[in-house]
Amino acid sequence: MGILFKQYLSGDKIYTCSQCKTHCTEHTQLISKAFQGRHGRAYLFSEVVNVTLGPREDRMLITGLHTVVDIHCITCNSVLGWKYEVAYEESQKYKEGKFILEKAKVMKEGSW
């Protein structure tokens, strides 16, 4: 294990890990709040930072079969959500490469 490099975001509205307050993404990266996670509501983002990726797995979700990887906070290793790798339904292809952050796993910082 080497030195941990974290990216600090400078926007007005930042989403952080609820456990350790590590920056995850800016509000400008939000695509939709109309998603469901394992622990309730979830948000779809175009980009996140300060996460590591777990192993790829096929998961049956509400909208069909997807290949996903769990995303973990780089600081405390909490599972924050997942990244869509492959969507098998044509109507779900827009999710590929996007990230789900569960509302229960993140908090808002800044001037909301």
Does residue 60 surpass a pLDDT of 80? Answer: yes
What's the pLDDT band for 42 if we cut at 50, 70, 90?
very high
The angle formed by the CA atoms of residues 58, 31 and 21, to the nearest 5 degrees, is: 85
pLDDT of residue 107: 97
Of 67, 38, 65, residue with least CA distance to 54: 67
Measured CA to CA, the distance from residue 7 to residue 42 in angstroms comes to 23
Per-residue pLDDT tens digits for 75-100: 999 999 999 999 999 999 999 999 99
The partner residues of 58 in beta bridges, in order of sequence, read 67
**Model pTM score:** 0.93
Does residue 32 surpass a pLDDT of 90? Answer: yes
